[in-house]
Amino acid sequence: MHVLVLGAGFSGSAIAKAFLPLAQSVTGTTRSEDKLDGLRALGIDALVYDGAVISAELAAVMKRTTHLIQSIAPGRDGDPMMRPGAPSVAELMPNLEWAGYLSTVGVYGDHGGAWVAEDASLEPVSARSVERVAAEQAWLACGQASNIPVAVLRLSGIYGPGRNAFCNLAAGTARRLIKPNQVFNRIRVEDIAGATVFLSGRSIGGIYNVTDHEPAPPQDIVAEAARLMGVAPPPEMPFETAELSQMARSFYGENKRVSNTRLRDLGFVFRFPDYRISLAELWSNGHWRG
């Protein structure tokens, strides 16, 4: 097995690490040369890829790749591997056996707090989620045309070591914004990696929500983290009067409860099924700082 992770950031590097014991080679790409040493320190072969120019070295890695994870967000020009005029995935990766595309539950848009599964209507609100829908469709069509299983992993709010409510509390940036009836799903980065290895190892394609079991109000996560830290939680703040970036405010415009039943029915077991278990583990093990 030769694994290539396009975009080895927070989620991509965790996926690459999970494949290390299983694969003959694991390569991850980054846009920045400054991040190469960090990836290599994890044991990952690292290359620079800006989403446009494929170097000769990366082309050689692609040629041998059997398992691909595409974690680079699309832009207005679409997914970097699917742009018109570019070489096809089949041409670049003739040995490809399975591909995973990391998407977002943002493709569902706002469902007024109702439960959504993978067959729910897609009503993306933000431009970035509209771009994700197009990229999902392009990857699924690519898999169908090439007769290769392609799994679309729709991820909820990602957190883990170095990126969590404890970090925000320690930095003094945590806030408890109150918007009545608002809930979010979230997912530990290790469970993203686990789900990717699970699906690839079984050559499973299709669309899967990779998210925890318990959608919850965001202020509850901050309060639980503060309780575990033994500090006072920040005061509650009405959402309507809070100063937020346009992107942060857009997240609150989408309210839904995302089901992970399809993935669990396949036999996948989440290590961190809810935020209480996850926060307790991060705190007790002391690796919340990353």
The whole-number pLDDT of residue 251 equals 82
Token couple for 33: 């040369």
Phi-psi region of 31 (alpha: psi -120 to 50; beta: other; left: phi over 0): alpha
- Judge whether residue 25 has pLDDT over 90: yes
What amino acid occupies position 40? R
Tokens 């040995």 appear where? Answer: 95
CB 127 within 8 A of CB 155: no
The whole-number pLDDT of residue 83 equals 87
Cα→Cα distances 128→23, 105, 133, 249, 252, Å = 33, 12, 9, 14, 15
Q: Which domains does the chain have, with CATH numbers?
A: 2-158+186-210 (3.40.50.720), 160-185+213-256+272-285 (3.90.25)
CB 134 within 8 A of CB 81: no
The whole-number pLDDT of residue 247 equals 79
Mean pLDDT of 6-25: 97
Give percent above pLDDT 90 in the chain.
88
Beta-carbon count within 10 A of 213 CB: 15
Give percent above pLDDT 70 in the chain.
100
Dmax over Cα atoms in the chain, in whole Å? 57
pLDDT digits (tens, 9 = 90+) for 144-190: 999 999 999 999 999 999 999 999 999 999 999 999 999 999 999 99
Query: Which of 30-44, 71-85, 111-125 is the least confident region?
Result: 71-85
Mean pLDDT of the chain: 95
- Judge whether residue 242 has pLDDT over 90: no
CA distance 177 to 264: 31
Q: Binning pLDDT at 50, 70 and 90, where does residue 241 land?
A: confident
- Judge whether residue 243 has pLDDT over 90: no
pLDDT digits (tens, 9 = 90+) for 259-283: 999 999 999 999 999 999 999 999 9
How many Å from the N-terminal Cα to the C-terminal Cα in the chain?
29
Q: How big, in percent rounded to 5, are the helix, strand and coil portions of the chain?
A: 40, 20, 40
Token couple for 276: 């209480």
CB 261 within 8 A of CB 117: yes
The whole-number pLDDT of residue 194 equals 98
pLDDT digits (tens, 9 = 90+) for 76-99: 888 999 988 889 999 999 999 999
Q: Torsion angle, CA of 70/71/75/81, rounded to 10 degrees?
A: -20
* pTM for this predicted structure: 0.96
Cα→Cα distances 220→44, 165, 281, Å = 36, 10, 17
The whole-number pLDDT of residue 249 equals 83
Backbone angles phi, psi at 60, to 5 degrees: -65, -40
34 secondary structure, DSSP code: G
- Judge whether residue 250 has pLDDT over 90: no
CA-based torsion, 184, 29, 42, 17: positive or negative: positive
